[in-house]
Amino acid sequence: MSRRTNRAQRERHGPHLSSLVALVLVNLIGLACAVSPAGTPPTPTPIAHPSEHDALVLRIETSGGLLPPFVLVTELPELSVYGDGTVIVLGPQILIYPPPALPNLLQSRITEDGLQLLLREAAAAGLLDGDADYPLPGVYDAPTTFFTVHAGGKRTRVSVYALGLEDPSDPRLTAEQREARQKLAAFAAKARDLTSWLPADAIIERDMPYVITRLQVVVVPADAPQAPQSPENIPVSSRPWSLPTPLSQIGEPAPWVGPTARCAVITSRKELPRLLEELATANTLTRWESGQQEFVLLVRPLLPDETGCQPRRW
């Protein structure tokens, strides 16, 4: 082939070759911009969330099933995460009966990077996709797990009945329902054990005792149906009520607990430490003598976002 022919072919294909080379260069530049100099993926776009110390970002709680009224009054979430990275969990409970009057609440704190990792896990589990409800046909009297997320510019509420009790081969569950349940169960297990998988530099504080600054106290007469009753072989101790206000007059009526129940939120810098000191040696069956009558106290520390003395709304 002559030099003239080669030159003609180059002139004929030149524009196409130039376009192809330009396209390849653009793709290479885009690829170079998509990774960091170290070759790692770029940092994902942060998931927006409230940042205040008392603004709830994520909560996991389980309730329902065959529970007596006094348990429902004192239930606490398994996990609560707030905008400043505060994490409050229900710690290990001592296996004795009757149990201590005060629960074992633990507080940790994670960085914003740690919170973003948690929110990305929540997003992968479908918890930023909007409200959802997952029933389980054929199962009765089981608890329901509730996931609440405030992130991505919206509030999402997901409820899963009998989480973890489903039969993966149950034909009444669709493939989508099975997959959703598996993702939510895996996320719940991971979220409840944050400090085991978050990077060490994402954890500021770890498993510190939760400092109670507000205590919800529900008062019921010792013989009321809402009061825990002692088996015959369990002795019950009594002690005098030491705060100024008689228990028959404390707080406001709480008909959402029972017709004779009352509810108060104790915050006084003088009264709260005194009551907490007495509760530290009491249990859930302890009777409190006030005005020639015995009462039972159903106590529950309030978390930063809670106001107290209100019926729980699911």
- The domain ranges of the chain are 1-42, 56-209, 215-301
Report the mean per-residue pLDDT for the chain.
87
3-state secondary structure (DSSP) of residue 172: coil
The two tokens of residue 188 are 């719940």
Report helix angle 112-124 to 175-191, nearest 10.
160
Rounded CA-CA distance 263/298 in Å is 9
Q: List CB contacts of 96: < 8 A, sequence separation 6 or more.
A: none
The two tokens of residue 214 are 């507000």
Residue 153 has pLDDT above 90, yes or no: yes
Q: What pLDDT was estimated at residue 35?
A: 47
Confidence of residue 41 (pLDDT cuts 50, 70, 90): low
Rounded CA-CA distance 194/197 in Å is 6
Q: What pLDDT was estimated at residue 38?
A: 54
263 C-beta neighbours (distance < 10 Å), count: 22
Q: What pLDDT was estimated at residue 68?
A: 74
Mean pLDDT for the stretch of residues 172-177: 91
Rounded CA-CA distance 31/139 in Å is 51
Residue 12 has pLDDT above 70, yes or no: no
CATH class of residue range 56-209: alpha beta
Mean pLDDT for the stretch of residues 269-276: 95
For residue 91, which amino acid is it? G
63 pairs with which residues across the strands? Answer: 144
Residue 269 has pLDDT above 80, yes or no: yes
Q: What pLDDT was estimated at residue 36?
A: 45
- How big is the CA angle at 218 (ends 76 and 61), to the nearest 5 degrees? 15
Instruction: Report pLDDT digits (tens) over 51-66.
Output: 999 999 999 999 987 7
Rounded CA-CA distance 205/86 in Å is 9
What's this model's pTM, rounded to 2 decimal places?
0.84
Instruction: Report pLDDT digits (tens) over 97-114.
Output: 899 999 999 999 999 999
Residue 98: asked if its preceding bond is cis (omega within 30°), the reply is yes
Q: What pLDDT was estimated at residue 235?
A: 84
CB 110 within 8 A of CB 194: yes
Q: List CB contacts of 164: < 8 A, sequence separation 6 or more.
A: 185
In the chain, the percentage of residues whose pLDDT exceeds 90 is: 69
CB 275 within 8 A of CB 243: yes
Residue 233 has pLDDT above 80, yes or no: no
Instruction: Report pLDDT digits (tens) over 114-144.
Output: 999 999 999 999 999 999 999 998 888 899 9
